[in-house]
A = this chain, B = another copy of it.
């Protein structure tokens, strides 16, 4: 990041509509079959982007994937961040529930982004093989901050290793995300409101102070 990542700088000087097209198509392809199973060669062909150009604008396959993914997360957080947090413990849990509900609504509105975000979770083991993803760090920090705040308010238990609580909540959130989209494509279609209610109840069970 010191010289502002040379490849990234070049990409950002492409015509904005071309940037948009590249990231949109990449997101579609990666969301369809995941990172590993998507052929970079075929993706570049569909993008009408020569190989030398590809490696001129992106470091490698992983870089393009993460760039497209990051844009999805930006859209996601732009929606979720609109929730304001009331004070006190009840406000904390209301905030959790409302944010989650907006998150599920986002997943319905932008299924490609949702699928791509699930990819990161499914294949994170393969992705952070070379250097921390920094995106995973941001997500981890999101949950850690949340739990720290809940502990500060005295409504989240502090009698268990902090990392364990964070991991449990993070993974339960992933479980719900997966369940929400698979249940959606099946017959049972929970509304974002219902799903968020269940999620909040489960997280409260998981880690609310006794």
With a cutoff of 8 Å between Cβ atoms, the chain B residues found around residue A19 in the complex are none
Chain B residues contacting A164 (CB-CB under 8 Å) are 175-176, 179, 183, 198
In the assembled complex, how far is the CB of residue A2 from the closest CB belonging to chain B, in whole angstroms?
29
In whole angstroms, what is the CA distance A164 to B198 when docked? 10
As a 0/1 sequence over residues 151 to 193 of chain A, the CB contacts with chain B under 8 angstroms (1 = contact) are: 0000000001101100110011011101100010000100000
How many interface residues does chain A have, given as a range?
20 to 34
Interface residue A206 (Cβ < 8 Å from any Cβ of B):
yes
Q: Are A161 and B188 within 8 A (Cβ)?
A: yes
Contact of A206 among B123, B167, B206 (CB under 8 A): B206
- Whether A175 and B179, one on each chain, are in contact in the complex, defined by CB atoms closer than 8 angstroms, is no
Dominant SS at the A interface?
helix
A5 interface hit (Cβ, 8 Å):
no
Using known A-B contacts A122-B125, A202-B206, A206-B206, determine if residue A172 contacts B178 with beta carbons closer than 8 Å.
Answer: no
User: What B residues does A129 contact at CB under 8 A?
Assistant: 37
Least distance between A31 CB and chain B CB atoms (Å): 13
Using Cβ atoms and an 8 Å threshold, which residues of chain B touch A125? 34, 122-123
A36 located at the interface, meaning its Cβ lies under 8 Å from any Cβ of chain B in the complex? yes
Instruction: Give every chain B residue within 8 A of A188 (Cβ-Cβ).
Output: 161
How many whole Å from A9's CB to the nearest CB in chain B?
A: 31
B-chain residues with CB within 8 Å of residue A172 when the two chains form the complex: 168, 171-172
A168 neighbours in B (Cβ, 8 Å): 172, 175, 202
* Apart from A164-B198, A205-B205: 4 A-B pairs, beta carbons within 8 A: A123-B125, A168-B202, A171-B175, A205-B207
